[in-house]
């Protein structure tokens, strides 16, 4: 398995199809460096294409999930966009391409066919919020706290929070947290709907999320990946268009060995056994 500077891929149980993708810069509070934006989509793609993987859990090593973008990376981006180029237009075009590349790294979570679950402890700030809002399900521990910090750095958040958060917590809440940059707790995140459950400790979070992921991994991979794809598509279209999309999807995917196996298992009162995807 490929090694990374900013990430670690772990399969805690050799018999499990749940894999852990860990932000692995604990000495830097898992701040997102430029290397991260190169490595993260590659790591996700490798997991997506691996038939042994059914569910991916994203977590952070050390005391915090993610402290946001690495400030040295911001300085580097600024320097790169202006270095050796006196043309403001060309410098701006280069900076736009860099931002789009970083956006694509976060959007890779949604492009991944497999469900991606965020397990958040400690700080989840700035770019960390961009990352978790792209995830399919989010859980946190009681010590977790969140902040959409970009406005305090004189930045308009540009990696997805402003686009994804309103549909998760509501427009008014997204506006307040984005403009004030105020810190809010895991309990408040649960009330908002940003996370689905708050666990008592990091250990409880790890064990609880793994159990949930194992439950999803035991289901038909065609049904699981299809459900993710249809839900993501339905965010952007009308109900009528969404229904048409899922009708077309199921006309291609419904009649499968997974369906036969699920029905057989129900009738015989046994656990189903699905082929890898």
CA distance 165 to 177: 10
pLDDT score for 83: 66
What are the phi and psi torsion angles at 223 (to 5°)?
A: -70, -40
Which one, of 71, 73, 67, lies nearest residue 27 by Cα? 67
Active site residue 150: yes
CA distance 97 to 119: 30
Measured from the Cβ of residue 1, the count of other Cβ atoms closer than 10 Å reads 12
Measured from the Cβ of residue 247, the count of other Cβ atoms closer than 10 Å reads 10
Q: List helix spans (H) across the chain.
A: 34-49, 71-82, 88-111, 127-134, 161-169, 171-180, 186-192, 202-217, 221-234, 239-253, 257-268
Task: Identify the active-site residue in 56, 57, 69, 117.
Answer: 69
pLDDT digits (tens, 9 = 90+) for 149-192: 999 999 999 999 999 999 999 999 999 999 999 999 999 999 99
pLDDT cut 90: percent of the chain above it:
90
The CATH number of 221-267 is: 1.10.12.10
Task: Identify the active-site residue in 158, 176, 188, 191.
Answer: 158
Domain 221-267 in the same topology as domain 7-217: no
Active site residue 158: yes
Q: Which residues pair with 32 in a beta bridge?
A: 69
pLDDT score for 84: 66
Domain ranges of the chain: 7-217, 221-267
Task: Identify the active-site residue in 60, 122, 127, 128.
Answer: 127
What are the phi and psi torsion angles at 221 (to 5°)?
A: -65, -30
pLDDT digits (tens, 9 = 90+) for 37-71: 999 999 999 999 999 999 999 999 999 999 999 98
- Residue carrying the six token digits 């279209």: 237
pLDDT score for 91: 86
**Mind giving me the DSSP string for 220-249?**
-HHHHHHHHHHHHHHTSS-HHHHHHHHHHH
pLDDT digits (tens, 9 = 90+) for 202-257: 999 999 999 999 999 999 999 999 999 999 999 999 999 999 999 999 999 999 99
What are the phi and psi torsion angles at 21 (to 5°)?
A: -110, 110
Task: Identify the active-site residue in 70, 136, 143, 150.
Answer: 150
pLDDT score for 74: 79
Both tokens of 262, joined, read 């699920």
Task: Identify the active-site residue in 130, 136, 143, 206.
Answer: 130
pLDDT score for 44: 98
pLDDT cut 70: percent of the chain above it:
98
CATH classification of 7-217 is 3.40.50.280, yes or no?
no
Please tell me whether residue 100 adopts helix, strand or coil conformation. helix
Active site residue 89: no
């Amino acid at each position: 398995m490929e090694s990374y500077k900013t990430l670690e891929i772990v399969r805690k149980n050799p018999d499990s199809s749940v894999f852990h993708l860990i932000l692995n810069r604990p000495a830097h509070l898992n701040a997102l460096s430029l290397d991260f934006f190169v490595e993260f989509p590659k790591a996700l793609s490798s997991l997506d294409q691996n038939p042994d993987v059914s569910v991916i859990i994203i977590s952070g090593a050390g005391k915090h999930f993610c402290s946001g973008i690495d400030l040295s990376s911001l300085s580097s981006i600024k320097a790169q966009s202006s270095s050796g180029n006196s043309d403001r237009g060309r410098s701006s075009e280069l900076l736009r391409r860099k931002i789009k590349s970083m956006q694509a790294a976060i959007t890779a979570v949604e492009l991944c066919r497999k469900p991606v679950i965020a397990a958040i402890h400690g700080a989840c700030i700035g770019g960390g919020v961009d990352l978790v809002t792209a995830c399919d399900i989010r859980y946190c521990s009681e010590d977790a706290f969140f902040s959409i910090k970009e406005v305090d750095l004189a930045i308009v958040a540009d990696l997805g929070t402003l686009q994804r958060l309103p549909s998760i917590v509501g427009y008014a809440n997204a506006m307040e947290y984005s403009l004030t940059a105020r810190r809010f707790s895991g309990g408040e995140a649960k009330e908002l709907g940003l996370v689905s459950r708050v666990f008592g400790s990091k250990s409880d979070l790890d064990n609880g999320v793994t159990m949930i992921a194992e439950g999803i991994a035991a289901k038909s991979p065609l049904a699981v990946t299809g459900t993710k794809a249809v839900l993501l598509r339905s965010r952007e279209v009308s109900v009528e268009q969404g229904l048409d999309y899922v009708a077309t999807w199921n006309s291609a995917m419904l009649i499968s060995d997974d369906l036969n196996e699920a029905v057989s298992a129900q009738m015989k009162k046994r656990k189903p056994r699905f082929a890898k995807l």
